[in-house]
């Protein structure tokens, strides 16, 4: 099945308390406009390589409502990261349109933050100064951001580690720093590319849960790339399933598990049925074929 359907899951609109620049304050939910936060429409992408043209992504279309968590899953090399980078404005596309909060994608937007698989922290800066980096780059108010940095470090469980250097931290702690750095400038749209994939299973599970709790508190829009089906089901409102390269959308799965979620959410009959549906889509078989 080739599916170009839009994601249509609705959540109730939330009240918000806007900050001076229009961003909601930390701890408040995000007001939802009728426009999707992200629209990807008929997007194609090829790369020119030494061995010829590689078709990475073919005719990908989806919409992400404000405040939703959408995960992309698919086999290695199917173009998940490419889609994320195109939304972030870090990669061009050949055909189609992408709209991010009403305008074209562009790198370095104040309203959009990206987090990659490795933490990419600056080794000569302390934990606190790494988290403050976007504040300096974006020229934001330092004293206000210093307090927010402290709050975020507490939130991600790094209180007491502010003056440590990245090389003094475990991989999981480094990713927590990276998460705090992502949140410090309060982007409305978070793009995360397998942020916890390099971590051991237990740490990944713990960070997944923290992400779920953070999302349930802040209600930001999140697009999340992962190989891990259970992780996608745990955190998401919707899972987009892609085929092997060239990546096309093969299924768009609404995840209607109740929130707040716990690690047990994916082990309920509903959770396991969703995991099974995604696995079947990845295997290229429709439910009718399997039954
Ligand atoms: N800069 C590039 N130049 C040439 N080819 C590229 C480039 N970036 C990605 N590709 C190719 O495009 C295809 C999609 O890559 P992409 O990294 O988006 O896939 P992915 O689904 O994120 O993979 P993974 O899950 O392994 O990270 C792959 O075949 C990859 O080799």
Name which residue leads in pLDDT, 96 or 216: 96
Question: Are 215 and 79 found together in one domain?
Answer: yes
Question: Are 49 and 179 found together in one domain?
Answer: no
CATH of the domain at 272: 3.40.50.300
Report how far ligand 1's centroid is from the alpha carbon of 29 (Å).
34
Question: Are 274 and 141 found together in one domain?
Answer: no
Report how far ligand 1's centroid is from the alpha carbon of 228 (Å).
18
Q: Is the CB of 226 under 6 A from ligand 1?
A: no
Query: Is residue 18 a part of any domain in this protein?
Result: no
Contact by Cβ (8 Å): 162, 170: no
Question: Are 161 and 58 found together in one domain?
Answer: no
Q: Is the CB of 54 under 6 A from ligand 1?
A: yes
Q: Compute the distance between CA of residue 248 and CA of residue 75 in angstroms, rounded to an integer.
A: 11
- 6 pLDDT above the threshold of 60: no
Q: What burial letters (b/e) apply to 50-59, b meaning 16+ CB within 10 Å?
A: eeeeeebbbb
Which of 165, 186, 207 delimits the end of a domain? 186
Question: Are 145 and 100 found together in one domain?
Answer: no
Closest ligand 1 atom to Cα of 79: 18
Q: Is the CB of 76 under 6 A from ligand 1?
A: yes
Which of 171, 186, 201 delimits the end of a domain? 186
Question: Are 89 and 206 found together in one domain?
Answer: yes
Question: Are 238 and 146 found together in one domain?
Answer: no
Q: Is the CB of 49 under 6 A from ligand 1?
A: yes
Closest ligand 1 atom to Cα of 194: 27
Query: Is residue 221 a part of any domain in this protein?
Result: yes
Model pLDDT, residue 33: 61
Q: Is 164 exposed, middle or buried (0-12, 13-18, 19+ CB in 10 A)?
A: middle
Q: Is the CB of 77 under 6 A from ligand 1?
A: yes
Question: Are 56 and 95 found together in one domain?
Answer: yes
Minimal-distance CA residue to ligand 1 atom 4: 47
Q: Is the CB of 45 under 6 A from ligand 1?
A: no
Name which residue leads in pLDDT, 118 or 194: 194
Average pLDDT, the chain: 85
Query: Is residue 29 a part of any domain in this protein?
Result: no
Q: Compute the distance between CA of residue 96 and CA of residue 249 in angstroms, rounded to an integer.
A: 15
Which of 151, 186, 221 delimits the end of a domain? 186
Question: Are 102 and 205 found together in one domain?
Answer: yes
Furthest-apart CA atoms within the chain: distance in Å: 60
Residue 141's pLDDT band, with cuts at 50, 70 and 90, is confident
Helix (H, G, I), strand (E, B) or coil at 238: strand
Q: Is the CB of 92 under 6 A from ligand 1?
A: no
Model pLDDT, residue 7: 39
Contact by Cβ (8 Å): 87, 223: yes
pLDDT in tens, 169-215: 998 899 889 989 988 988 999 999 998 887 788 888 888 888 888 88
Query: Is residue 145 a part of any domain in this protein?
Result: yes
Q: Compute the distance between CA of residue 229 and CA of residue 213 in angstroms, rounded to an integer.
A: 19
Question: Are 105 and 204 found together in one domain?
Answer: yes
Pocket test residue of 44, 53, 54 for ligand 1, highest count of atoms within 8 A of CB: 54
Model pLDDT, residue 26: 38
Report how far ligand 1's centroid is from the alpha carbon of 46 (Å).
10
pTM for the full predicted model: 0.85
Q: What does the block give as tokens for 176? A: 């927590």
Report how far ligand 1's centroid is from the alpha carbon of 59 (Å).
16
Query: Is residue 15 a part of any domain in this protein?
Result: no
Query: Is residue 43 a part of any domain in this protein?
Result: yes
DSSP conformation letters of 111-138: TEEEE-SS----TTS-HHHHHHHHHHHH
Model pLDDT, residue 208: 87
Number of domain units in the chain = 2
Question: Are 179 and 226 found together in one domain?
Answer: no
Q: What does the block give as tokens for 6? A: 């839009």
Question: How many other CB atoms sit within 10 Å of the CB of residue 169?
Answer: 18
- 149 pLDDT above the threshold of 60: yes
Query: Is residue 31 a part of any domain in this protein?
Result: no
Q: Is the CB of 78 under 6 A from ligand 1?
A: yes
Domain containing 170: what range?
Answer: 120-186
Report how far ligand 1's centroid is from the alpha carbon of 77 (Å).
5
Length of the chain: 291
Question: Are 95 and 197 found together in one domain?
Answer: yes
Residue 18's pLDDT band, with cuts at 50, 70 and 90, is very low
Query: Is residue 24 a part of any domain in this protein?
Result: no
pLDDT in tens, 236-264: 999 999 999 899 999 999 999 999 999 89
Q: Compute the distance between CA of residue 131 and CA of residue 146 in angstroms, rounded to an integer.
A: 9
Q: Is the dihedral of CA 76, 88, 174, 30 positive or negative?
A: negative
Contact by Cβ (8 Å): 169, 82: no
């Amino acid at each position: 099945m080739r599916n170009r359907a839009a994601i249509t899951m609705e959540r109730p609109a939330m009240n918000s308390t806007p900050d001076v620049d229009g961003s909601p304050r930390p701890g408040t939910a995000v007001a939802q406009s009728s426009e999707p936060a992200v629209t990807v429409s008929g997007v194609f992408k090829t790369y020119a390589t030494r061995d010829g043209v590689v078709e990475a992504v073919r005719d990908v279309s989806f919409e992400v409502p404000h405040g939703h968590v959408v995960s992309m899953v698919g086999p290695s090399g199917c173009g998940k990261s490419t889609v994320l980078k195109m939304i972030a404005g870090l990669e061009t596309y050949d055909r189609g349109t992408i709209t991010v909060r009403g305008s074209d994608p562009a790198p370095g937007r104040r309203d959009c933050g990206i987090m990659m698989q490795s933490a990419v922290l600056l080794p000569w800066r302390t934990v606190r100064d790494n988290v403050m980096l976007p504040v300096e780059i974006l020229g934001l108010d330092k004293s206000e951001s210093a307090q927010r940095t402290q709050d975020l470090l507490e939130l991600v469980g790094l209180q007491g580690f502010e003056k440590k250097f990245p090389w003094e931290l475990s991989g999981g702690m480094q990713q927590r720093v990276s998460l705090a750095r992502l949140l410090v400038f309060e982007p409305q749209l978070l793009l995360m590319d397998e942020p916890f994939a390099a971590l051991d299973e237990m740490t990944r599970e713990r960070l997944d849960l923290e992400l779920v709790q953070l999302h349930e508190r802040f209600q930001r829009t999140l697009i999340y790339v992962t190989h891990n089906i259970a992780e996608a089901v745990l955190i998401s409102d919707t899972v987009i399933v892609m085929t092997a390269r060239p990546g096309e959308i093969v299924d768009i799965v609404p995840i209607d598990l109740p929130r707040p979620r716990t690690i047990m959410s994916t082990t309920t009959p509903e959770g396991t049925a969703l995991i099974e549906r995604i696995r079947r889509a990845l295997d290229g078989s429709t439910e009718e074929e399997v039954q």
